[in-house]
Amino acid sequence: MKKLFLMLLMVLAVGAKAVAENYPYRSDYLWVTVPDHADWLYKKGEKARVEVQLYKYGVPVDAVVKYEIADDMLPSDRKGEARLKGGRASIDIGTRTTPGFRDLRLTANVDGKTYKHHIKVGFSVDEIRPYTKEPADFLDFWNKNIEDMRAFPLTYTKTKAEEYCTDKVDCYLLKITLNKQKQAVYAYLFYPKGAQKVQCPVVLCPPGAGIKTIKEPLRHKYYAENGCIRMEMEIHGLNPTLPKETFDDMTKAFNGRDNGYLFNGLEDPDRYYMKRVYLALIRCLDLLTSLPEWDGRNVIVQGGSQGGALSMVAAALDSRVTQCIVNHPALSDMAAYSAGRTGGYPHFNRVEGMFNDKTLRTMAYYDVVNFARHITCDTYMTWGYNDDTCPPTTSYAVWNTLTCPKEALLTPINEHWTSDETEYRQMEWMLKKLR
């Protein structure tokens, strides 16, 4: 690890709500969980204790807390109860003999309602290695598919999106055709107003998982305000101007647990849904580097979750990429569940029969840990320990695989989110690294 910045955003954990929020959140009850190691990290064989606190309106609650303890994302192997005295109790969560994380899962019944919380701590995390192995023809597979894709000329339409233009930023809606079958992706392209030729770094931002519109297109407008051309893309070929209700209907119809796009074609690497998506990343970079305003040097990929995974895919497959900025990458060490280990999103273990010779073979061609082995550009990663979507075990599996120049921002308290401040600082890091 070349540079590792440990950032404890707060000691206060997320409360009863399913979604994680920065404190203060709107709840009468507040959980506080404090490991006896300030960095939440231990060595194998070292025991970990966590002080658990519960407050109502800021007043300690003397309640009985039920707990379960488990390896990261796996079924619990120990259960018990702790009685809070003065709103506090100390729970011994044991240790691990192998590298990884232990998860303390808490439940309290107070005033007729159930409040849940959890906290994960890590053991010898720098020794975490992926289960997934790289196919012998991994790069040949992808290079051949990129070559085939480029036989179809770069083709796109570009329309001014006035609703997202500001006094500092111009925005265009793009439809990028990918192949002779006319499959396409859409994107919003943000320019600094008055951008000149050979002036601007370009930034590709792939989306998080789901069938949805492009999320809050202006939320990262500060990239364009700071001189960059930024592309916010979608991956399904769905016009982002469609009504939200339409996307909701498509999600219900085509993105269930066992029929979603991430399951589509998983028996064959050449027929898997994500093949077109991964190739679309290269096509989008082709477009960005064809713009006369591109500075001819800097190509950045940036995203979180599925978008983080896709950013790493692009960085591995395209030598033009000069920086890779990633939050908690999905699609990482997906097959590890087949060996009884912690695996990554989309958690194929939750659907019976998903692991077999054919699906495991396909997963290897699409797993981020295999792409991580081929990233050479400057890379910046952020992840949280309490994440149950893209668990910290798999983020470390990716991080420990990277051999490129790399930096990390660890935010242990975080679940599957990053703060606005963290995302803005990523841009600041990017600007400092420009060529």
Whether residues 353 and 407 fall in one domain: yes
Tokens of 1: 């690890």
Whether residues 29 and 160 fall in one domain: no
Range with lowest mean pLDDT among 1-10, 128-137, 179-188? 1-10
Question: Exposure string (b/e) for 328-359, b if CB count within 10 Å is 16 or more?
Answer: bbbbbbbbbbbeebbbbbbbbbeeeebbeeeb
Tokens of 313: 């895919």
Whether residues 291 and 228 fall in one domain: yes
What's the Cα-to-Cα distance from 19 to each of 15, 52, 111, 433, rounded to whole Å?
A: 9, 20, 22, 34
For residue 430, the surrounding DSSP H or E stretch is: helix 420-432
Whether residues 84 and 170 fall in one domain: no
Residue 121 to residue 101: CA distance in whole angstroms: 5
Which string of DSSP letters, residue by residue, matches 139-161? HHHHHHHHHHHHTSPPEEEEEE-
Q: Helix, strand or coil for residue 141?
A: helix
pLDDT band, residue 259 (cuts 50/70/90): confident
User: pLDDT at position 30, please?
Assistant: 93
110 located within any domain: yes
User: pLDDT at position 14, please?
Assistant: 35
Whether residues 120 and 21 fall in one domain: yes
Q: Is residue 17 scored above 80 in pLDDT? A: no
Whether residues 109 and 161 fall in one domain: no
- What number of CA atoms fall less than 13 Å from residue 51's CA on the CB side? 12
133 located within any domain: no
Whether residues 105 and 213 fall in one domain: no
Express as a percent the part of the chain with pLDDT over 70.
Answer: 94
Mean pLDDT of the chain: 93
Residue 263 to residue 174: CA distance in whole angstroms: 27
Q: Is residue 427 scored above 50 in pLDDT? A: yes
Would you give the distance in Å from CA 425 to the centre of its chain?
17
pTM: 0.93
For position 48, which CATH number holds?
A: 2.60.40.1930
Domain range for 115 is 12-127
364 located within any domain: yes
76 located within any domain: yes
Which of 103, 127, 151 is the C-terminal boundary of a domain?
127
Whether residues 104 and 216 fall in one domain: no
Tokens of 127: 């020794």
Q: Is residue 195 scored above 50 in pLDDT? A: yes
Q: Looking at residue 25, what DSSP letter applies?
A: -
Whether residues 274 and 413 fall in one domain: yes
- Output 15 or 184, whichever has higher pLDDT: 184
160 located within any domain: yes
Q: State the CB neighbour count (10 A cutoff) for residue 26.
A: 7
Non-local (6+) Cβ contacts of 18 within 8 A are: none
199 located within any domain: yes
Q: How many residues does the chain have?
A: 435
| pLDDT, tens only, 260-299 | 999 999 999 999 999 999 999 999 999 999 999 999 999 9
Please, which residues bridge with residue 66 across strands? Answer: 81, 107
| pLDDT, tens only, 199-221 | 999 999 999 999 999 989 999 99
For position 276, which CATH number holds?
A: 3.40.50.1820
- What number of CA atoms fall less than 13 Å from residue 111's CA on the CB side? 6
Non-local (6+) Cβ contacts of 112 within 8 A are: none
Q: Which residues are catalytic?
A: 305, 387, 416
Which residue has 């707060």 as its token pair? 10
Number of compact structural domains in the chain: 2
User: pLDDT at position 1, please?
Assistant: 45
Mean pLDDT for 147-161 is 97
Whether residues 114 and 158 fall in one domain: no
Whether residues 119 and 142 fall in one domain: no
- What number of CA atoms fall less than 13 Å from residue 103's CA on the CB side? 20
Which of 85, 105, 127 is the C-terminal boundary of a domain?
127
Mean pLDDT for 321-334 is 98
Tokens of 183: 């499959």
Mean pLDDT for 97-117 is 96
- Output 227 or 11, whichever has higher pLDDT: 227
Q: Looking at residue 379, what DSSP letter applies?
A: E
299 located within any domain: yes
Longest CA span, the chain = 70
User: pLDDT at position 13, please?
Assistant: 37
pLDDT band, residue 258 (cuts 50/70/90): confident
Whether residues 370 and 411 fall in one domain: yes
Residue 371 to residue 366: CA distance in whole angstroms: 8
Please, which residues bridge with residue 230 across strands? Answer: 190, 203
Which of 81, 100, 127 is the C-terminal boundary of a domain?
127
Mean pLDDT for 16-39 is 72
Q: Is residue 3 scored above 50 in pLDDT? A: no
132 located within any domain: no
